[in-house]
Amino acid sequence: MTNARTIGIIGAFAGVTVALCAFAVASTYAVRGLRLDLTEDRLYSLSPAVVPLVQRLDEPVKLDFYYSAEAAQGMPQIQSYANRVREFLQEVAQASKGRITLRVIDPAPFSEAQDEARAAGIAPLRLDGSGKELMLGLVAKNSVDQAEAMPFLDPNKEPFLEYDVMRLVQSIGKLKKPTIGLLSSLPLAGGGVNPADPRQPAEPWQIYLQLKQLYQVKDIATTDSALPEGLDALVIVHPRELSTDLLRSIDSYALKGGRILAFLDPHCEAQPSEDRFSGGSGDKSSDLGPLTRAWGIEWTRSKVVADSTYAQRVRVRSQGPVQVMDYLIWLALREDALAKDDPSTGRLSQVNSQTMGAIDIRESNKAAVKPLIESSAESMRLDGVRIQFFPDPEGLMRDFKPEGKRNVLAVRVQGPIEAAYDEAGNPTIAPPESSKPVMLAPDGSEIPAAPGKGPFQDPAPVAPTTAAPAPAQPSPAPEQAPTGPASASNPPSPAKAPRTGAGNIVIVADADLLSDQNWIEQQRMGNLVLGSRVMADNGAFVLNVLEMFTGDEALLNLRARGKYQRPYDRVEEIRKAAEKQYLDRERELQNQIRQSEARLTELQAQKTPENQLILSPEQEAEVVKLEEQTLAARKELRSVQFNLRREYEGLGTRLMLVNVVAWPLVVAGLAAIMLARRSHLHRSTKKA
């Protein structure tokens, strides 16, 4: 009996072992790749757009993934990320149904694979002084051996992995790229003065390089008279001194359904100060004349939006030490400032900007004008003249008075729009008076506009007897009739209805957001560029809009597969309140010190000529009092700063304890209660 029981136990154990082995084999081959992704935003699943994108490639694509497995030993972050990349590339290759093939290559030291990787553009990362190198990069090739590489796959850019790989695949696997026109008064293509090294020309902006990679870009000069033919979309960046003919060409392009992405600016900090537009006046604004009003918005180029909610932190040196404070006109626009129901902004996390303007939506327009980016209600509009020469972050904060309403910073215009020019070439609507730029001299005095040098004037000669400044709206060529609002001498023509068309336009009230410093930073090792670190979604916003415009929606859902920046709102509120208290008290103490110093100067003036080097008892007492006040002021300032840091760090500690300790205890407690209840029910049922 005992032997039979022993044999039965051994048989059962053997059966379980065989079953487990069979399950392991089946899971290896039969259900390979089957996963359950429960992460937010489905970070470990292919986006729905990947499959159609890879299956409709014009060219088959070969992917070579280089990974130094031996060099990555002891680096768990690199190892886990390399496995993540390899698994993702395998899924992409499988979904492509043969359009994409993958090779995983280990470039061992002194091997042919290492030489091949270096020739393809993979950047080796030196790990120590012994010459140990790590390679983690990707190369894509098509059937004609055209190749592009991602030199180094940065683990910090994991949220952009899917988009970066798919963009690389599409750039190699597509034979025909959409054509966009680029009209800009800024040196996007580089070649201008490099502020970091005047001996070297400025490098192209990263947004320009990305556009060149994805599109056929036709550069349009601001002096051209017409747009080129065959454009799938038009990008306008900081337009200044455009001729009437070019404005009319843009108007005609918009009426025919042309897609336009325009970046206007009330004060473009990226505009070189030595160029011919500023002329020492400090005016760095841009406009599109009557076009914006015809498209359904009012653009005031003399106003800048200040916002305490989205203000960026900057270092400022005032009379004392360097301080870190909010700069109200440099904005870090987070998710609640971005339209979540629009494909161009719905998946973005943050857009950084500098000196943004405000857009007002006209009530009379027929098109649907939808805000894409808005400020918070804790914002106000400032006169641009305050920041033309010497910005004062502390002064802006001191004079800041929120208006209690949100300002529109970017819009999408879709639907019926009117022509800005009639068939004779005359403007049908003039810009408002408030859109005229105010030009200031360094001493703060206003400079009248020079004749014939308005922001939208044709460079036609002006008669010597004419002394009136040029109007802000575009003027016609000399052979055309005068333009402007209807009047007794210039009545409107009631016979012809205004021309209309279907608009598809996005207008952004800032051009600085395209500048590299606002959204991307290159990672270098000497002269070798390892890659770029994305700080904000400015570039993703631009490419999202253009992908919608050019009809290629495949990449639209491949942006930022996770929320890589999650600020603690409560912590930010505490910091802002404490900082305001600190600044207010600091100003009070500094005023006390200045009053004491003024009193000391007054007592010094009361000395007699015989005792210029001897302090009187009153002066000695005043000096002692001044020193005591200064020491007390510095002590109190340190105390305020210490309390600010202690409260800030204390809240962080409490949040950590809640996340790491409290919630696991709650879950464990609930599990214990459920287990105890189930056990009690089981015993009750057994007794019954």
Q: Residue 16: enclosing H or E segment and its boundaries?
A: helix 2-29
Region 155-171 average pLDDT: 80
Say what the pLDDT of residue 456 is.
Answer: 40
Section 26-50 average pLDDT: 61
> What integer is the mean pLDDT of 646-659?
72
Kindly report the backbone phi and psi dihedral angles of residue 301, in degrees, each rounded to the nearest multiple of 5, phi listed first: -80, 0
User: Distance between alpha carbon 626 and the CA centroid of its chain, in Å?
Assistant: 48
- Average pLDDT score over residue span 27-37: 55
What was the pLDDT predicted at 454? 40
More confident residue, 272 or 140: 140
Structure confidence at residue 507 as a pLDDT band (50, 70, 90): very high
Angle between the N-to-C axes of helices 161-173 and 76-95, in degrees from 0 to 180, rounded to the nearest 10? 40
The reported pLDDT for the residue numbered 299 is: 94
Residues in Cβ contact with 236 at an 8 Å cutoff, skipping those fewer than 6 apart: 183, 184, 250, 260, 261, 262, 263, 288
* pLDDT at site 446: 52
Domain ranges across the chain: 54-173, 179-458+503-553, 570-605+616-658
**Rounded Cα–Cα distance for residues 344 and 559 (Å):** 10
Name the pLDDT band for 457 (thresholds 50, 70, 90): very low
How much is the pLDDT for 472?
A: 38
What's the mean pLDDT when you consider all of the chain?
78
Statement: residue 322 has pLDDT above 70: yes
CB-based contacts of 650: which residues, under 8 Å, 6+ apart?
none
pLDDT band at 419 (very low <50, low <70, confident <90, very high): very high
DSSP 8-state assignment for residue 72: T
pLDDT surpassing 50 at residue 455: no
State the pLDDT at residue 541. 94
In the predicted structure, residue 32 carries a pLDDT above the cut 60? no
pLDDT of 40 > 60? The answer is no
Residues counted in the chain:
688
Tell me what pLDDT residue 497 has: 57
For the record, the structure tokens of 247 come out as 């404005």
Which single residue is written with the structure tokens 């305050």? 386
pLDDT band, very low/low/confident/very high, at 687 (cuts 50, 70, 90): confident
What is the mean pLDDT of the segment spanning 565-593? 64
Give per-residue pLDDT as tens, 437-448.
555 454 445 555
Instruction: Name residues whose C-beta falls within 8 Å of residue 43's C-beta, 6 or more positions apart in sequence.
Output: 37, 159, 561, 562
Biggest CA-to-CA distance, the chain: 127
Name, in order, each residue with C-beta under 8 angstroms of 458's C-beta and a sequence gap of 6 or more: 243, 244, 245, 474, 475, 476, 477
Residues 6+ apart with CB under 8 A from 633: 589, 590, 592, 593
The 8 Å CB, 24+ separation contacts for 158-162 are 158/81, 158/84, 158/562, 159/43, 159/560, 159/561, 159/562, 159/564, 160/534, 160/559, 160/560, 160/561, 161/84, 161/85, 161/88, 161/561, 162/46, 162/47, 162/50, 162/88, 162/558, 162/561
CA distances to 340, 352, 679 from 334, rounded to whole Å, are: 11, 9, 50
Amino acid at 131: G
Rama region for 159: left / alpha / beta (φ>0; ψ in -120 to 50; rest): alpha
pLDDT at 287: 93
Residue 666 has a pLDDT of: 82
- pLDDT tens across 221-247, in order? 999 999 999 999 999 999 998 999 999
Q: What is the tens place of the pLDDT at every residue in 346-393?
A: 878 999 999 999 999 998 778 999 999 999 999 999 998 888 777 788
368: Cα within 13 Å, side-chain hemisphere: 5
What kind of fold does domain 54-173 have according to CATH?
Glutaredoxin (3.40.30)
Structure confidence at residue 554 as a pLDDT band (50, 70, 90): low
